[in-house]
Amino acid sequence: MQQELSATDGLVNLTTAEIRATLVAKYKASIFPEIARKKIQELARQEKHDYDDDDGQRQCWWKQFCTLTHRSILNMSRDLGYYWLRIVFYSLVALSTGSLEFDIGTSSDSVIARGKVVAFIYGIMIFLSVSGLPFFLDEIKVFKGETLAGYYGEPAYVLSNFLSSLPFTIVISLSSGSIIYSLVKFHPGFSHLLYFCINLFFCISVSEASVFVTASLVSNPLPSMGAAIGVTMLNLMPSNVFRPLPELPKIFWRYPLSYISFAAWGTQGNLKNDMIGLEFDAVVPGEAKIKGEAILQDTYGIDLQYSKWWDVVALFCLLLCYRLLLVIALRCKQRISSPFRRIYPTSGR
């Protein structure tokens, strides 16, 4: 006790600098500097590990995307009903259309007939996209289980689905488009044929994307089929398929529906591709031939201020919008369903 009091009295008599030096010397002589050093090294390693994890996350996303794409291509190629039967159906429709309107010519009667052919092509071709709905609904079931488990996210799935379907959609567009164009004998020239196939490709892709958005929101097969057909009909109605655009009622049908209708942009582009540069016989024999540009403006009410390629650009933008809507719809559906799954877990484990 006496020794402790003397040590305390000794410290009291020291200056602040001397006390600080004494404490530093005792700290360096203890085990605490080594503990602090190890802790700092551990924190530095953890920070580097977090940085490496961020890079690993990017690599992991790419691996998820590649795996999903590979699996989706295998499923689509192995399942006859997913795309192979649709390719056959599209080809049969193309043969039927081509034989029905074989060598349409440039007579006065062919002016209306060409519009009917384009309407028939887009009416049937777009509706055939609904046939892929049951297969997508099956994919949605797998998607929900795997995303809830955290295997991948919505963007990777939507992008892989689109890239997987791309070869099949291109085959459909080139095969059916070439059959129709060669039999009906639209505007001659390879560039016109190529435009026809490109336009058809985007219309089928956008129509398919709109069907998928509907399926992601309505998971029951029968209501989903009805909703998909309804959305497709809404896209077909404000176009030259049923009535010229200038004659549409301004409210709802003309503004805004005709501007977001892929059928409207598709039919406009194809009518321009077919008629611009052609001349048609007059109704009264002996009169001067009628230019295709005049027919487009007077009969179909199509504005010729912008090129036919702007119609393709509009279809491309609609395709991006629908794919983005699909990501949003899947994400919202998952966010809404997740709390209910936690509250009401499935039985039968």
pLDDT in tens, 41-96: 777 666 555 444 444 455 588 888 888 999 999 988 888 878 888 899 999 989 99
Structure tokens at 18: 């001397």
Q: Looking at residues 195-216, what average pLDDT do you find?
A: 92
State pTM to two decimals.
0.78
Structure tokens at 34: 């080594």
pLDDT higher than 90, residue 337: no
State the pLDDT confidence band at 274, using cuts at 50, 70 and 90.
very high
pLDDT in tens, 132-163: 888 888 888 888 888 887 788 888 999 999 99
The per-residue pLDDT for 309 is 95
